Chain A
Amino acid sequence: GQQLNQSPQSMFIQEGEDVSMNCTSSSIFNTWLWYKQDPGEGPVLLIALYKAGELTSNGRLTAQFGITRKDSFLNISASIPSDVGIYFCAGQETSGSRLTFGEGTQLTVNP
């Protein structure tokens, strides 16, 4: 089946630093999404990407949909303590279909 490789698995950074995480896939997705999950809650959508090569920003977050349709990255600039959590990439083959998730990146931000 489809698999998403997400890296790094964990990151420990100082407040104010920028971070970057990425996902690669063995197959093509037509939509890439990035979610954040806080403890005891479900994932919350941060950014959705619908076109190959698309670069989209949401505040301090920037994500790109790779031109091969097999990868995506997420950048967080000027990190703050509330950025702590687990970040997941997800791929979707067609609109409304199931999501295939990466294994997550645990982000820790030290004040």
Chain B
Amino acid sequence: GAGVSQSPSNKVTEKGKDVELRCDPISGHTALYWYRQSLGQGLEFLIYFQGNSAPDKSGLPSDRFSAERTGGSVSTLTIQRTQQEDSAVYLCASSFVGLNPQQYFGPGTRLTVT
């Protein structure tokens, strides 16, 4: 079956521009997570959506970062006024809700800010 998909796979943008990254979770998964992975580093939590509950935004690094999830499915991560330090791979994961749910990761979007 289809896994988590993300688009675009690569994005190069100029400093100061806004970017939108998209995540399509696995059908039926009600939990969705965004992580960021800088070069040679582990994954850093950004934001978590669970059903209709208020999202956990505690990992967002600044107010330039925001995310929404429409209709409980597709999610968009928006970075405004991009900076060079925003360059990283942005990974999305989804899971079902239940006992010991596994987070399935997409391939990520590699963002380069020039």
A binding-site residues for B, Cβ under 8 Å: 4, 6, 31, 40-45, 48, 50, 88, 90, 95-104
Known: A43-B43, A101-B43, A102-B42. A95 touches B103 (CB 8 A): no
B binding-site residues for A, Cβ under 8 Å: 4, 31, 33, 35, 40-45, 48, 50, 56, 59, 91, 93, 95, 97, 99-108
The answer to whether B41 touches A103, judged by C-beta atoms less than 8 angstroms apart, is yes
Interface centre among A31, A42, A97, A102 (most CB of B within 10 A): A42
4 closest residue pairs by CB, A with B: A42-B105, A101-B42, A98-B45, A101-B43
Q: Which residues of B contact A90 (CB under 8 A)?
A: 43
The answer to whether B102 touches A42, judged by C-beta atoms less than 8 angstroms apart, is no
Q: Which residues of B contact A97 (CB under 8 A)?
A: 48
